Each structure stands twice: as C-alpha cells, then as structure tokens.
Amino acid sequence: AVLTNLLTQHVSRGDMKPASEADYHAMESATRPAPAPANMFVTLFVKYSSIGMVDAFIAAGGLVFAGIVLRVIDLMMAPHPLPLFNGAMLTMAIVFFANPAPPPYKVFLQCTIGAWFLGMLLRFLMIESVCVTIVVAGCLLIFFKWAKVMFPPTLGVAVFLISDQTMMPPVGAGPGTFAMYAFHWLITPWLAGSIWFYLIAKLTSKARAEVKTKLSMMKFLANFAGKTDGELIQAFKEIDADGGGALDNKELVLAWQKATGEELTPEQAQGLIDEVDEDKNGTLDQSEFIALIRKRCEQPIKSFADQFSDAQLKQIFDDFDDDGNNEMDADELVVAWKKVTNKKISTADAQAIINQGAINGNPTLDKDEFVQVVRAQA
C-alpha cells in the first residue's frame, strides 16, 4: 500500500523523481511483521532496565539466600544448636557481594586471625565499654597497615569477643576457658558461616558476570536489531570516528559505552571483532560489522540488496532508466548498482553483468532481468 501511494503521488504530479532513501525505509517498515508480545516485553526490559540495578538485585538475592539458609539450619538444630549465623557476619557478607567478585579469601583469613587475637587481648586488658570498640578500630587499622591487607568487616570479630554477653564467658572466667569459647566462636559461626557466604558470593559473581555480559550485548544489539543493511551501514559510518572505513577495538569500545553505559575492555571488543574478521586484519569493515550484528541477533546474514523488495527494485529501475525506454544500459546500471548494492562498478563490469543477465541477448536489461541479476549477483 505504501509503495502504491508513493507511485501514485509521483504519477499524479507528472514526474518520476527517484524515491528517497526515507521512502524505501518506509516501504520496508510497512512490510515488517509486528513483534510478538513476549518479544515486546524483552525489548522493553532491555531498553529501560539498568544493568547496575539488575546486578544489585542479583547480588542482594544471593546474600539474602545465603543468610536465610544459615539461619534455617540454626533453627532446625535447636535446642542445642551449632551456630552458623551471627549478626556480625552481615557486614562481611556485604563486602563479599558488593564487588563484582569477592576479595581473595586469604585476605579475609589474615584479617580475621589478626582481629581475633586483638579481641582476646583487649578482653583481658581493658574494661568493657564503648571506648574499647574505638580502640579496637584503631588497633585493627595498625594491623591492616602492618600486614598490608585490608578487610574492615573483621572488626566485628574483635568487637564481638570483647562485648558479647551470650556466647562468651564473663570476664574473669580464666584465660583457658575464654580461649576455648573464643576458638569455638571463631570456627563456628564465624569461619563456617563466612565460608558459606563466600561460596555463594563466588557462585553469584559468575552468574552476575554472565547476566551483565548478556544484558550489555542485548542493549548494544537493541540499537541495531531490525535495521536493514543500509541502516546498519549508516550506523557503521557514525561509529567509525576516524572515517577510515574500518572499526578497531577502541571505536567498538566507545560505541558499546554509548549504547549500554557499561565498560567493555579492548580485549573483549577484539574478541567480538575476531568472530567475523574474515580477512584477519583485526578490524571490522562494513560487511563484517553487519555480519556481527546479524550473528548476534541470530538473524540470517543478508546482502545489501535484500533490503529491497522486487517491487522496490523495479521502482529503482524506473528511477535510473534515464531515457525512459524500459531498458537499462551499462552507464545506467553503474548508478543503479551502487544504489542497490552499495558497491561501485565500472562500465565494463556493468556490461559484463548485463551480458550474463540479458536473456534475449540484448546489450541492455529489461525490468525483470534487472531484478533477477540483482538477486543473483548482488
């Protein structure tokens, strides 16, 4: 219908001006099927979701899951529980889950042992008070600087040993008794619970990395999905900052950041380039860029000419048939070929194409022969 309206407008005005590129895009858009509801939901989610917030929800879910499991186990083992959970562990758990991946466990162990010995020492040397926790923080900072490791949540270990009135024996119970209780608390709940939190954080970090990568890729591809090869070539030119006709990994990184707001390392960008880099020159030309988008969008790789229907190709034939004799010679084909394939050819090449496609042996192409030649060779 769009094509008919355009042709009617041209005929009614008494002219046959070439249809603009916008006209062709409008004609093509009119033939595209409406997206399925499920695809629309995915599209809206990809468009409006924040990768950072999605990552935060996954991390928070992992933390809550790990904590609830420990608490449920404690309740199931009552009335003689072997405690696996303690509130002092939550600050540690937040650190495990806050970063893309938990810190090395060696750092956590070093800081835990240092805080444990510090807590035991101050329990015997100082009176329980708020000031003690302040002193503990200062002493622990000295230890962190000396050991060249940093894990602030282990402050909770020292503070717990000093101030707890539920699990630890009262002051004056004797060093042996206190050491036994303190060692018990160090093993469980602190180390046993922390290992569980660390394990879940480690597993969650892998899932978070995969989700971020996939969502970033979906956001990047969402800028190009459903576009014709002609539109992708225009996007390529916009990304090609230096106008060199090829995209290197730096230009792809910038395009990725602009489209997704996320960081893409040059190595990751180069990996994407290498997927479709047929000439192995380390960059993407226009056809390779289109191939990458089609591959990642799970769409078939189409030629540039596939964006035009047969009716549109016949309209292009009319537009470039300068003398209006319904025959296209080599000079006319040179111009039309650039339009439908985005490739330049010489007059000699155009004549060779005509000779191969002209069924009647004429040195020109009629409208149907032009369409067949484009489909066969473009």
- What are the pLDDT tens digits along the chain (378 aa)? 444 444 344 434 444 444 444 444 444 444 444 444 445 666 677 777 788 899 999 999 999 999 999 999 988 887 766 788 888 788 889 989 998 888 888 888 888 888 888 877 777 676 556 677 777 788 888 878 887 877 777 777 777 777 766 666 665 666 677 777 778 778 888 888 889 999 999 999 989 988 888 888 888 887 777 777 778 888 888 888 888 888 998 988 888 888 777 777 888 888 888 888 878 889 988 888 888 887 777 554 455 556 566 777 888 888 888 888 889 998 988 888 887 777 788 999 888 888 888 777 788 988 888 888 887 775
Sign of CA dihedral 373, 374, 375, 378: positive
Angle at alpha carbon of residue 136, lines to 131 and 142, rounded to 5°: 135
CB count, 10 Å around CB of 340? Answer: 24
Q: Which helix (H) or strand (E) holds 220?
A: helix 192-222
* CATH no. for 304-377: 1.10.238.10
Q: Give the C-alpha distances (Å, rounded to integers) separating 212 from 100, 105, 129, 215, 270.
A: 10, 24, 46, 5, 18
Third-level CATH fold of 224-298: Recoverin; domain 1 (1.10.238)
- Cβ atoms of 221 and 297 within 8 Å: the answer is yes
CA 24 from chain centre, in angstroms, equals 32
Q: Residue 365 has what DSSP assignment? A: B
Q: How far apart are CA 154 and CA 110, in angstroms?
A: 10
Q: Which two tokens stand for residue 324?
A: 């209006």
Q: Which helix (H) or strand (E) holds 147?
A: helix 130-147
Tell me the β-bridge partners of 365.
Answer: 328
37: which 2 tokens? Answer: 């509801």
103 φ, ψ to 5°? -65, 165
Q: How far apart are CA 259 and CA 254, in angstroms?
A: 9
CATH fold match for the domains 224-298 and 304-377: yes
Domain boundaries, the chain: 53-204, 224-298, 304-377
Dihedral sign (CA 333, 336, 341, 342): positive
Q: What is the Cα–Cα distance from 100 to 208, expressed in whole angstroms?
A: 8
